[in-house]
Amino acid sequence: MNSTDKVFVYGASGHTGRFVVNELVRRGLAPVIAGRDAARLDSVLPRRTGLERRAVGLDDPGALRRAIAGSGAVINCAGPFLDTALPLARAAMGAGAHYLDVTAEQPAVQALYRELDAPARAAGVVVVPAMSFYGGLADLLVTAALGSDRDADEVEIAVGLDRWWPTAGTRITGARNTATRLVIRDGALTALADPAPSGSWSYPSPLGVQRVVELPFSEVIAIERHLHVGDLRSYLNTAPLDDLHDEATPPPSGADEDGRSAQRFVVDVVVRRGPDARRTVATGRDIYAVTAPIAVDGAVRLLEGRHTGRGACAPGEAFDAGDVLAALRREVDDFETDEVA
């Protein structure tokens, strides 16, 4: 394996980071296991033969760039991304490596698009934030539903979870991210109404009819980056939000040999253009575990030059969305996408 085929995983000892490391190993790649705390890396991730480790903070750009040197791509799993995305992406560019992350935070994605598009183009690397369950999956579904078109009158995205066992990182990020959430109205980003609109959504099995609230994540910023949408509304059912807001809710625990939890998810996307509507549904298991193959598939495509985007771009802009979804159906147990009449 060439040194530039290495993938530098920052936040590798976290819950999602461990899934990412395992997915890279499963696919025959060599992750460089990295994070702030060497002891945590050693205690949480027992040593694997042949895998390199880098304990490095984000407050020393030179050390961070040297740690990344020799890797072809960086996957950032360390939130809050408001704090980690820019320094890590800048270091990746300085080392000549592509950058991906798994953020759901709108301001972090906006900052990467705003500040790193031109520098990434000049450096010949690609920066793809939100290559994950929140953000990337919805963007890929919407992009694939549109096919060769790049405009829609209206898009609705309804994420449904049967429960939410939040990680410590999710809780910390939620407390850190207090920015006003953005939606798309009349073709432009605008602040979500307060109180947020609510209602009900008829999800496919296994969820059925659920109470929902408009709760946009990073998919709004990704979609606005490369598609022309009149109105975009993103919903989440309210039952898992009760889990998230309950401090007694435990973190996720493994229910199979791969460490995935028993959580089930549905991502229901409706795209309307004039009188025509197209509905696509993705279903699967464990929002944290499924983030790993999404991010790793993006890293592999960047390493192999199988990307269409340049600079800082959205997942559906960087890659062939339909091909990514097809790869996920092949590679991920329980992951399915279906077009619904």
pLDDT score recorded for residue 47:
61
Residues 147 and 84 in one domain: no
CATH number at residue 227: 3.30.360.10
- Alpha carbon separation from 57 to 64, 87, 96, 143 (Å, rounded): 7, 10, 19, 36
pLDDT score recorded for residue 1:
40
- Number of independent structural domains in the chain: 2
CATH number at residue 67: 3.40.50.720
Residues 168 and 265 in one domain: yes
pLDDT score recorded for residue 2:
46
Domain that holds residue 172: 133-286+329-340
Residues 124 and 166 in one domain: no
Residues 55 and 175 in one domain: no
Residues 248 and 306 in one domain: no
pLDDT score recorded for residue 5:
83
Q: What is the pLDDT of residues 253-297, one digit of tens each?
A: 999 999 999 999 999 999 999 999 999 999 999 999 999 999 999
- One DSSP character per residue, 271-336 reads EEETTEEEEEEEEEE-HHHHHHHHHHHHHHHHHTT-----EE--HHHHS-HHHHHHHHHHHSTT-E
- Mark the ranges of the chain whose per-residue pLDDT is less than 50: 1-3
pLDDT score recorded for residue 43:
73
Residues 204 and 121 in one domain: no
- Cite the DSSP H helix spans in the chain: 15-26, 38-44, 61-68, 81-94, 106-123, 138-146, 168-176, 219-226, 238-245, 287-303, 315-318, 321-331
